[in-house]
Structure 1
């Protein structure tokens, strides 16, 4: 129990240091970029500009701004938004996070539900024309970036076929194209990874011995091969989720979805310091949490990994 508590205590410390370094780096880079949040107000009288700077603490020295912002974050206050003066960053994040989580969660679920069976099916038919065709299509899925795939989906299904809306939010059919655009590269990679892992597992000595004892191919697959073959897929979940989070910025912009990615892009373009920093902190915390959960899942599926880190 002591070792377990020590291990998780170190993980929490590493997570806190990682988030602090991420926030500090983002704070410095934002302030170093040319322009400011109220450059459009240059035509305003000097007293108005001074009042805006004082309201948002931009008239203070940079170390004082950093210390004040860090103190607010420690109290759970991400500060006011410069671009959306009627809202705090906490309110914007609270509204946007469920939207991005729904899109990203459905995209990753679709990638797993299709990618794993396709990868297993391809491994069982390794070398045949169906396997070659599937891996070729998966390679295309990896090669096409999201900023190309998303407009192509809009052009095909919204503009040409009129089957689905080109953007917006609020109806179930608004989810279809964004989820597909987010899922495509992950689906392709999941299928290729599952195929490679399954081929390696099927050639293991213990499976040859089990096959020699007369076990059916179905039992070999589901009882002995599938779980170890999925270990690389589980390890891939962390970068897959990060890929979904980073890709949401492009997809949400294309489809006009009010999610975290769109707020991040708009905040960066308008120098909304507090909004960008708030999104970075929340996304960074989610990534740390995801990595921790994936590590725990891998340890449950393969106790040797947990023993190695003990």
Structure 2
């Protein structure tokens, strides 16, 4: 019973911290957006003053800033992210609902690709530490980390779409449209995952308990999969949170390059057009997803190493 109470208290504390984090994030974003020069209807300067006034009234821009903040916060508490200034026929809820699955698919596949190739490559490199295979893999991983996404994405388009004509240069709707954006998002994460897995595996393989197990005659395969793999993956699991943030921030560039109707593209367009509600809606949804992923990552780390839960 005491353990159940402790777990319930810990999760209640995490929920409270998550709500406070999202509130601070939304408030900071609201203040920064309103502090930026320009407004959502600056392009409507040729419109008559009564039209400008009607637009300001419709979107509550004629109220004091504190009143605008309170009204928007009340709408968010009811699950209403408000109308979009840039897309007047759609609400922010509708835009986010259409864009979130697209970004989630790209980001999820990119992370899976990074883990599916990064972990085996890191293990392979650690098992051949100091040899030509290890040096070659780490050199390629270094290149993957050095090339930013805004360079990698156009290079992929130039090679596979323009030169080889294997894949489309942009668009959305078919499986071929997914390949290049996913690869562009995955490359730096794959490289970092491989280097992190190699370093963690080398440290684990040199542990005293593995030396003792090896002295008892256990095979290298059993040592690797039964004793070394699980503790070696702890740093990789902890890295998933910053990896997700890396994917989210990189999606803004990648979605612009490939013309994908995802969250990153809406965020960029909303920021350029001062679409306050759209930018705030995207920030809130992405922030909530990051908080959720952090919670799941903590749960997985607790499963891999129960001492972490005991420390909490």
Q: Report the RMSD for the aligned CA atoms in angstroms.
A: 0.5
Shift of 1:90: 0.2
> Structure 2 CA distance, aligned partners of 1:252 and 1:190?
23
Q: Is 2:87 the counterpart of 1:102?
A: no
Shift of 1:225: 0.6
Superposed, 1:108-119 pairs within 5 Å as 108-119=111-122
Q: Is 2:73 the counterpart of 1:82?
A: no
Deviation by residue 1:145-176 (Cα, 9 ceiling, x = unmatched): 10010011001111111110000000000000
The runs of at least 4 aligned residues of structure 1 exceeding 2 Å deviation read none
Match of 2:68 among 65, 68, 78: 65
Shift of 1:4: 1.1
Shift of 1:6: 1.1
Superposed, 1:1-310 pairs within 5 Å as 1-309=4-312
> Structure 2 CA distance, aligned partners of 1:21 and 1:209?
50
Unpaired runs of 5+ residues, structure 1, are none
SS in 2 for 1:127: coil
> Structure 2 CA distance, aligned partners of 1:171 and 1:5?
44
Deviation by residue 1:99-119 (Cα, 9 ceiling, x = unmatched): 000000000000000000000
Shift of 1:2: 1.4
> Structure 2 CA distance, aligned partners of 1:28 and 1:227?
44
Shift of 1:3: 1.2
Unpaired runs of 5+ residues, structure 2, are none
Aligned residues: 309
What TM-score, normalized by structure 1, do the two folds share? 0.99
> Structure 2 CA distance, aligned partners of 1:292 and 1:218?
32
Deviation by residue 1:59-103 (Cα, 9 ceiling, x = unmatched): 000000000000000000000000000000000000000000000
> Structure 2 CA distance, aligned partners of 1:281 and 1:163?
37
SS in 1 for 2:233: helix
